[in-house]
Amino acid sequence: MIKWVERIGNIYHINNIRIMNKPNTDGFIEKDKELRDALEKLRKQYMKELKQKSLHVEQREALERMKNHWDGLLVFVDHPHIPMSNSEAEHMMRNPVLGRKNYYGSGAIWSAEYKAIMFRIFETLRKNGINEKKWLTKYFESCIECGGKVPSDISKFLSWNMSEKEKADYG
């Protein structure tokens, strides 16, 4: 198990150095070859281990999954702009997933739809470096100024319409 963690960690390390270089540069090409060689070595290793009769059931299942999904696991090799893992997406889903049973009204469809909208808004704000509490406070203040109604023009609250200075004001 530890050996596999080290092998996969090495793949991440090589790829991280590779993508620090622009494609088609000497540094990228050198690390790209090193990455492909390391991945081929990894493939041969899992094929070799799968032939072992004494392999633990869980180890065999993990290696079989690797074999069955090998092509999908390597998408990042030919497409360096695609991250090796989906950790960022999983991290963004953490709060909604952990909270889905703890939030008030979680059994109602309207509540689920409302939460989905709010989570999308807040994740978009976070990705743009905007403090959600400051943004929400300014939005509510704008609603108060409009007599307790939604402002007729909400475009100034959309992060993609904000200048870097406006985003910094929310930071």
* pLDDT, tens digit, 9 for 90 and up, residues 52-74: 999 899 999 999 999 999 998 89
Whether residue 64 sits in one domain with residue 7 = yes
Whether residue 105 sits in one domain with residue 52 = no
> How far is C-alpha 53 from the geometric centre of its chain's CA atoms?
37
What is the per-residue pLDDT for 164? Answer: 87
How confident is the model over 85-103, as pLDDT tens digits? 876 666 666 666 666 655 5
What is the per-residue pLDDT for 48? Answer: 95
Separation of alpha carbons 114 and 108, rounded Å: 10
Pick the more confident residue, 50 or 96. Answer: 50
Separation of alpha carbons 71 and 57, rounded Å: 23
Whether residue 42 sits in one domain with residue 99 = no
Domain that holds residue 136: 87-170
Given 3-state DSSP classes, what are the helix, strand and coil percentages for the chain, each rounded to the nearest 5? 70, 0, 30
Does pLDDT of 106 surpass 60?
Answer: no
Does pLDDT of 6 surpass 70?
Answer: yes
* Angle (nearest 5°) at CA 158 between 156 and 162: 65
Residue in 34, 44, 45 with CA at minimum distance from that of residue 11: 34
Q: Which of the listed residues 58, 78, 98 is the one where a domain comes to its end?
A: 78
